[in-house]
Amino acid sequence: MSDLTKEQIEEINSQRSKVEGTKRVVSNGLEEIIYQSLPVLDHGFIRVIDYMGDDSSIVQAARVSYGKGTKHVSADKGLINYLMRHRHSTPFEMCEIKYHVKLPIFVARQWIRHRTASVNEYSARYSVLDKEYYIPEPQNLASQSSSNKQGRGSVLEGDDAKRVLDLLIEDSEKVYEDYEKMLEGESQIGLSRELARMNLSLNYYTQWYWKIDLHNLLHFLSLRADSHAQFEIRAYADVMLQTVKKWVPLTFEAFENYRIGGAYLNSKSINVIKKIIKGEKVTQNNSGLSSREWEELSNLIDLSK
């Protein structure tokens, strides 16, 4: 569960209690959770702070019409499916959303590689960071993968898992203790905040506001909600997917069908499938595919038959 201060809870309750009239498009689903803190990991959260547009805004932009799209949901759904299927990205860029995210620094450094958003991060030069650090659940402690240089292997168990958790907690406590000493400890060192912060480990939490258009958000989620993504950033992506579902349900359904549940095939793979449909015997040797391409295609369809 995310840790919120009394002041933060009061601020959220105050924001959520306000009802203001507007002539702009409103997403009823997103209004249900706006400003609400959605917990992620042990101390993190995601909050929707603001947004612009909904499914009808995408349809309106695609048709360059005056109204909110057609009166038939099926027609709007069909158009959104077409846009998603054929990768017409501009209409989706007409919708924007702003999140408040609390996340471990090592996740933030991975996240920031997506350069299509506007970001403003909590300043540890200006303020003192809270004593909040991420400790994985035992089931998420894994050894280095032998086949993937940036992936995880088997889960650590017993004494190995306990030793890792003990080290993580011990180190996290120690660096924060020294962080406080350098700032204003018994020795009164009085080191500047911008220098003292460099002592903190990457599992300490930071916060930022992150604003992005819907097209680029969906690209981010297609990568970070994928089963191959690192667990910690995937945890945030999974929560964000649920906010997208509430915000633009027709777009979310199309995204599920054509991106998350879809697959992209090169011309050689398509030829293999055509041969199989015709009843021809295809092996990796006569397919023209590399061993990795053959394995990836095998994961999509059963090539053993």
Find out whether 124 and 193 touch, Cβ atoms under 8 Å.
yes
Q: Which of 47, 224, 234, 259 is catalytic?
A: 224
Find out whether 153 and 146 touch, Cβ atoms under 8 Å.
yes
What one-character DSSP code corresponds to residue 112? T
Whole-angstrom distance, CA of residue 27 vs CA of residue 56: 10
Q: Would you put residue 139 in left (φ > 0), alpha (ψ -120 to 50) or beta?
A: alpha
Query: Can you tell me whether residue 233 is helix, strand or coil?
Result: helix
Find out whether 206 and 109 touch, Cβ atoms under 8 Å.
no
Query: Can you tell me whether residue 152 is helix, strand or coil?
Result: strand
Known catalytic residue: 16? no
- Could you tell me how far CA 146 lies from the centroid of its own chain? 26
What is the end-to-end Cα distance of the chain in Å, rounded?
47
Find out whether 252 and 260 touch, Cβ atoms under 8 Å.
no
Residues with catalytic function: 224
